[in-house]
Amino acid sequence: MANDDFQDDVSFRGGSRVGWVNASFPLARLVASRSRMTLSSLGRYEFTPEQVVRFGSYGSIPLLANGLAIEHNRLDYPARMVFWCMGSREHVLAEIRRIGFVPAGQPVERPGGMPLRWSFVIAAVLAWNALFLFDQRGLLQGDLHPTPPGVGAIVALAALFLLATGIRLSERLQRLALAPGHQVGEVRALLGLLQLVGGLMAIGFSLVHVLANG
């Protein structure tokens, strides 16, 4: 490879759990060299040996929940970082050790609670539901026949994409959305997933709406 850190490395394809977000095989890749380890899945998470406290086990169902937990001291990453191994977890760990990546980090105390403010989450959920109910306002008037998703759903999904994008990019939005002591990197994978889902569904619903009313 072009980067000297990864000229002599080991690489594995599998799944991952980054914070609240799970990615199944083959959406994650773990690469390790003597001086660096990278987990790629809905983002790129890099560690030096001094940033990894130890490796642990996570789950014990072969092919379904056979995870290698990465216990680390980076406060800008989610506390829970897991690589789902396809095959033997012990083999992955042995290869990481063979290449010379040795955890040397010290544990750190993390801020308590969830990274996002509850007030922000509740306000976003209420606004989301209100936009979807706009398409179903006939139900509130006694019409028991649901209507297909329309403008309200499209606006809700587009707003989800824009809000997730804004939180990733805007420090002002981060101050509104994040609980004290937490960093945007802790929810970066979740925001990336919301961008993907919100953007694709907004486009899909828009096309359906245009074709149905064209």
Average pLDDT, the chain: 88
pLDDT at 60: 63
CATH number of 4-99: 2.30.29.30
Average pLDDT estimate for 167-195: 95
Q: What's the pTM value of the predicted model, to 2 decimals?
A: 0.81
17-21, 61-65, 126-130, 160-164: which has the highest mean pLDDT?
Answer: 160-164
pLDDT at 2: 42
Q: Is the pLDDT of residue 7 over 60?
A: no
The tokens of 102 are what?
């040795």
Average pLDDT estimate for 56-70: 77
- C-alpha distances in Å from residue 1, one per residue of 9, 10, 203: 9, 12, 37
pLDDT at 1: 40
* Domain assignments of the chain as residue spans, ordered by start: 4-99, 118-213
| Eight-class DSSP state of 162 | H
Q: 112-122 pLDDT, tens per residue?
A: 899 999 999 99
Spatial distance between the Cα atoms of 82 and 78, rounded to a whole number of angstroms: 10
Average pLDDT estimate for 128-157: 74
pLDDT at 4: 45
- If one counts every other C-beta atom within 10 angstroms of the C-beta of residue 130, the result is 11
pLDDT at 47: 97
